[in-house]
Amino acid sequence: MASDDWRVTTLGEVIELKRGYDLPKQDRRPGPYPIVSSSGISGSHVEAKVPAPGVVTGRYGTIGQVFHIVEDFWPLNTALYVRDFKGNDVRFISYLLQTLDFSAYSDKAAVPGVNRNHLHMASVRVPGIKEQQAIAHILGTLDDKIELNRHMNETLEGIAAALFKSWFVDFDPVRAKAAGEQPPGFAPHIADLFPDEFEESELGEIPTGWRVEPIGDVVEAVGGGTPSTKNPVYWNEGVYPFATPKDLSGLSSPILLATERRVTDAGLSKISSGLLPVGTVLLSSRAPVGYLAIAHVPVCVNQGFIAMICDGKVSNYYVLNWADANMAKIKMRASGTTFAEISKRNFRPIPALVPAAEVMAAFDSVVEPLYTKMRLNLEESRTLAELRDTLLPKLISGELSVPDTERTIGRYV
């Protein structure tokens, strides 16, 4: 139960919100300070307007999202920032704002907007500073662990990309052996798998014995479709994950664990490519071209994808990194007046390097643990986010006590 020092008041008695500052794109100069809009960090600038720590939420356009900023920043005029915390805990305030129904303070215009004076009148219930700090610590511990996992995955993804580039773009081990040197950083049993000379190809010099083939001959590239959204028999109580490019747009790592929507058996029957296997590489082919992920659940896709089933000459880890390294070539083959789109017909002829099978197997053995760790981190973060979202309104309202909550999350962090 809540402690006795909780009080009911207005938001304006707890904090003061202020509109952000204009900064036209032509005036922005990349620098050390984040620019924060209604949708979060959207660039950087050489100057900051507000000292850290800070809290920002949307004023115009995207409303309802709240951002805790830990470095000096420039809030844009589409945002509101907390100018005065009035002695309250900064991070607690960021969580308190997340419990407000911003739509109740929207002007209901075509582009939603929030009036800060109306927000100041919102009724809130807040505890004393020590309870605020304890609540912020609990929720912050969960968010910090999620952020740590995100940073770890960025590092793991970067390692995998660097290995791909070294082996299959720069050909570092082949060049070392051609110079009569032992490839640095390579175990002898892996270095022995690479040739020591090059041969000409349509891609230029490639290691002797490797091949160049159209990507459409290397993987099975298929598209998808969308069952009629007007027919509930295709969607209600759906069981099969149905991916759209939007599902990939918010991924922090190139691993798809879940989708926003699911289709039924009837819906699946309307998609020509059917249910794609775990391990399929997904490339968004329009709106925009270029999102990438490996599906870690059986999935069906809409018409905004080229899905690559990798059960032959190259692995999905190789194809994911190949597509990323060759994204400029892929986008050059896109066309369209309303928005760019690459068709399967234009995609399939793109030449792809096919390494020797033993080198391909060695690459997989090195990078598979990296992607496995990424997946485990994502799964843990999803669990932590669900726990945070469950606890947040109960802690902020005082329904849950801090000691009880600390015992609950102890096994997670």
**What's the chain's average pLDDT?**
94
Q: What is the pLDDT of residues 111-153, one digit of tens each?
A: 678 888 989 999 999 999 999 999 999 999 999 999 999 999 9
For residue 364, which of 313, 302, 407 has the smallest C-alpha distance? 313
H/E element, 69: strand 66-69
**What are the structure tokens assigned to 85, written together?**
């915390």
For residue 78, which of 14, 35, 30, 117 has the smallest C-alpha distance? 35
E strands present in 176-232: 198-201, 204-207, 211-214, 220-222
CATH fold of 7-127 reads Adenine-n6-DNA-methyltransferase TaqI; Chain A, domain 2 (3.90.220)
Across the range 319-330, mean pLDDT stands at 97
* pLDDT of 1: 41
The CATH H-level superfamily of 211-354 is DNA methylase specificity domains (3.90.220.20)
* pLDDT of 64: 87
Q: Residue 14 above 80 pLDDT?
A: yes
* pLDDT of 403: 85
Q: How confident is the model at residue 2 (pLDDT cuts 50, 70, 90)?
A: very low
